[in-house]
């Protein structure tokens, strides 16, 4: 089995999850971790037994010992870095969101095709067993025809700092940070329908920054379902944790976090719950480990990753439309 050499670009919070996942895999070597904060890179390398650090990410593009890169950097740099690494023959994993705009997402897709390299996007809730269970329930028709859904991507009494609250680096606020989790999770559960129309109310109420911390987005999908997405930072209350989803069907109801299913039988409603492995934390390491395992398997088999370009682009189209709708006060229709 050929060894896969990986470079981690960014030594921040999320990179630790990626590193732990990669280190669980046979035939994978993290060759280098790169961060503009050299002290942070050195501490990260020591913790994860990575032999090398660097401060200039694009200096790694021509290295033959690196087959793939993991981009855990501010959103502003996703597209530019991805395009360079793709051009030099590297497969690329990009943390969510794929880019700061749908146009940039299309540029990444074009580079992936031109240079015949793979791109995976970090919508990690698709690797959660409870999310997969609810998707199976919905897709098997157990709750009938889905009518509407609601999903949550909100931090309760907490919010990020640093580049996350800078529009020039993040591209957006809580919607781009947390709302994308709720959007992709419900799209996954619904079987990846295409968005047809988006209406949104977005604002800033809880902090002093130039990005949003409150959002309400209504998405109409091509299968007729309407989804409401709530995003936010620092809210005093939230009805469910990150990626929590509620699904109403003509024959029942399904909920993710807490995970339960209700089925209508005549005048009675029967609720069922399923036992799942105990979680060490809500965003558990195992989700990221499965995500990294999938990426490496796709590299070995030259198989298109999922979530990949199509899934990442769909989220970008929705986020762009939501910000446009909030600006104009009008619903935004998306092209087929």
CA 331/CA 326 separation, integer angstroms: 9
CA 258/CA 168 separation, integer angstroms: 36
CA 69/CA 30 separation, integer angstroms: 10
* Model pLDDT, residue 213: 98
Residue with tokens 């992709």, as numbered in its chain: 184
The reported pTM is: 0.97
* Model pLDDT, residue 1: 79
Q: Report yes or no: 291 and 131 within 8 Å, Cβ to Cβ.
A: no
CATH 3.30.160.20 fits 126-279+316-333, yes or no: no
* Model pLDDT, residue 335: 79
* Model pLDDT, residue 127: 98
Q: Which fold has domain 4-124+285-306?
A: Rossmann fold (3.40.50)
Residues of the chain with CATH 3.40.50.720: 4-124+285-306
CA 91/CA 297 separation, integer angstroms: 12
* Model pLDDT, residue 162: 97
Residues of the chain with CATH 3.30.360.10: 126-279+316-333
Query: What string of DSSP letters covers 42-103?
Result: HHHHHHHT-S-EES-GGGGTT-TT--EEEE-S-GGGHHHHHHHHHHTT-EEEEESSS-SSHH
Element (H, E) at 314: helix 309-328
The three-point CA angle 191-70-280 to 5° equals 65
CA 70/CA 94 separation, integer angstroms: 6
All residues at 6 or more sequence positions from 131 whose CB lies less than 8 Å from its CB, including other chains:
125, 185, 188, 189, 243, 245, 256
CA 97/CA 65 separation, integer angstroms: 27
SS3 state of residue 283: coil
Per-block mean pLDDT, blocks of 10 residues, the chain (336 long): 95 98 98 97 98 97 97 98 98 98 98 98 98 98 98 98 98 98 98 98 98 98 98 98 98 98 94 94 97 98 98 98 98 90
CA 321/CA 275 separation, integer angstroms: 38
* Model pLDDT, residue 31: 98
CA 262/CA 323 separation, integer angstroms: 35
């Amino acid at each position: 089995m050929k060894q896969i050499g990986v470079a981690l670009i960014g030594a921040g919070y999320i990179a630790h999850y990626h590193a732990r996942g990669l280190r669980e895999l046979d035939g994978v070597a993290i060759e280098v971790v790169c961060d503009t904060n050299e002290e942070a890179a050195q501490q990260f390398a020591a913790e994860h037994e990575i032999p090398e650090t660097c401060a200039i990410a694009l200096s790694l593009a021509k290295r033959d010992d690196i087959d793939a890169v993991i981009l855990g950097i501010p959103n502003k740099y996703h597209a530019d870095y991805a395009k360079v690494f793709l051009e030099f023959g590297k497969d690329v994993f990009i943390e969510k969101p794929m880019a700061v705009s749908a146009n940039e997402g299309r540029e990444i897709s074009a580079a992936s095709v031109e240079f015949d390299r793979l791109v995976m996007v970090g919508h990690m809730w698709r690797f959660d067993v409870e999310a997969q269970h609810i998707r199976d329930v919905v897709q098997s028709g157990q709750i009938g025809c889905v009518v509407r859904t609601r999903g949550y991507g909100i931090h309760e009494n907490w919010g990020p700092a640093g580049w996350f609250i800078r529009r020039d680096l993040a591209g957006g606020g809580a919607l781009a940070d947390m709302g994308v989790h709720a959007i992709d999770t419900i799209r996954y559960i619904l079987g990846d329908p295409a968005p047809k129309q988006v209406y949104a109310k977005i604002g800033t109420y809880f902090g002093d920054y130039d990005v949003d911390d409150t959002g309400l987005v209504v998405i109409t999908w091509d299968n007729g379902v309407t989804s409401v997405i709530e995003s936010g930072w620092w809210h005093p209350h939230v009805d469910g944790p990150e990626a929590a989803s509620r699904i109403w069907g003509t024959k029942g109801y399904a909920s993710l976090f807490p995970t339960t299913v209700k089925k209508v039988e005549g005048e009675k409603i029967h609720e069922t719950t399923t036992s799942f492995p105990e979680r060490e934390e809500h965003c558990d390491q195992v989700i990221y480990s499965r995500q990294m395992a999938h990426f490496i398997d796709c590299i070995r088999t030259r198989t298109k990753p999922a979530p990949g370009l199509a899934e990442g682009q769909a989220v970008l189209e929705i986020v762009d439309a939501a910000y446009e709708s909030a600006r104009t006060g009008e619903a935004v229709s998306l092209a087929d």
